[in-house]
Amino acid sequence: MWAVAPVPLDIVRALAATSGEPPPTNAAALVALFEEGGEARVILTRRASELGWHPGEVSFPGGWVEAGEGVVAAALREAYEEVGLDPSLVEVVGWLEPVSPRISAAVVTPVVGVLPSGRPVLRPDPREVEAVFDVPLSELLSCCRSEWWNGRPMYFFDLTEDVVWGMTARVLHALLLAVSRRTAPPASGRVATPDGTRPPAPA
């Protein structure tokens, strides 16, 4: 890792701001951030190991948009259900470009929300979430790398206890581009096999 200056929450609030309405996708995720010590931190979860879909992987709170529900409402509801985040604490500032998991019919709109009151008290639902934690954006900037899989860039964030990859890494990369206007560092060391074999599962 190399040192990166802290990213204040006001930068996130300004550069992630989006006008109009989010696209009507069939799934939503909440990218929730708060400031501590002058630095923006993003809330992430580690999915329960018993789940049949991406068990044990790092993710954002999120899920399917229910009938009659918009993507913002869905993202806030899912965050409340999964980690107990009170929707009244979240100031929605925008959303990122929709993304799709490579093996799913879901099209996910990442909704960006800031928590003006600071670090929230969270209560993860053990049926869905093994752990909830937060990471400063400066750390994510310092540990991002990319690899080329089948002619497409794949992004990875090498955290202390997890390797963030897949759709979550794509959303984090898009967020960092939005708030820093910089590209990810070039690929380092490990190169994926030509058929796109996934990296080792995080410990």
pLDDT of residue 53: 58
41 in a domain, yes or no? yes
The Cα–Cα gap between 100 and 123 comes to: 28
Strand duo 108-114 + 91-95: pairing: antiparallel
pLDDT (tens place) for every residue of the chain, 203 residues total: 445 788 899 888 887 767 778 888 999 999 999 999 999 999 999 877 665 555 558 999 999 999 999 999 999 999 999 999 999 999 999 999 999 876 667 899 999 999 999 999 999 998 888 899 999 999 998 888 888 887 788 899 998 888 898 899 999 999 998 876 643 443 443 433 333 334 443 33
Of 196, 103, 187, residue with least CA distance to 150:
196
Q: Is residue 48 part of a domain?
A: yes
SS3 assignment, position 64 = strand
Q: Which pTM value belongs to this model?
A: 0.83
Question: Are 97 and 81 contacting, i.e. CB atoms less than 8 angstroms apart?
Answer: no
Q: Tell me, yes or no, whether 104 lies in a domain.
A: yes
179 found inside a domain: no
Q: Give CA–CA dist 195/203, Å, rounded.
A: 23
* Residue span of the structural domain in which 130 resides: 9-135
Domain presence at residue 188: no
CATH number at residue 109: 3.90.79.10
Tokens 């992630």 belong to 16
Spatial separation of the C-alpha atoms in residues 130 and 76, rounded to whole Å = 19
d(CA 35, CA 100): 29
185 is a domain residue: no
Domain count, the chain: 1
In a domain, 77, yes or no: yes
The answer to whether residues 94 and 103 touch, using CB atoms and an 8 Å cutoff, is no
98 phi and psi, to 5 degrees? -55, 145
Cα(112)–Cα(96) distance, integer angstroms: 7
Amino acid at site 83: V
- What is the C-alpha separation between 69 and 30, in angstroms, rounded? 15
Provide the pLDDT for residue 188.
42
Task: Give the span between the Cα atoms of 150 and 90, in whole angstroms.
Answer: 38
Residue 99 DSSP one-character state: B
- Residue 177 inside a domain? The answer is no
Q: Name the token pair of 87.
A: 């929707």
Among residues 109, 87, 129, the alpha carbon closest in space to that of 18 is found at 109
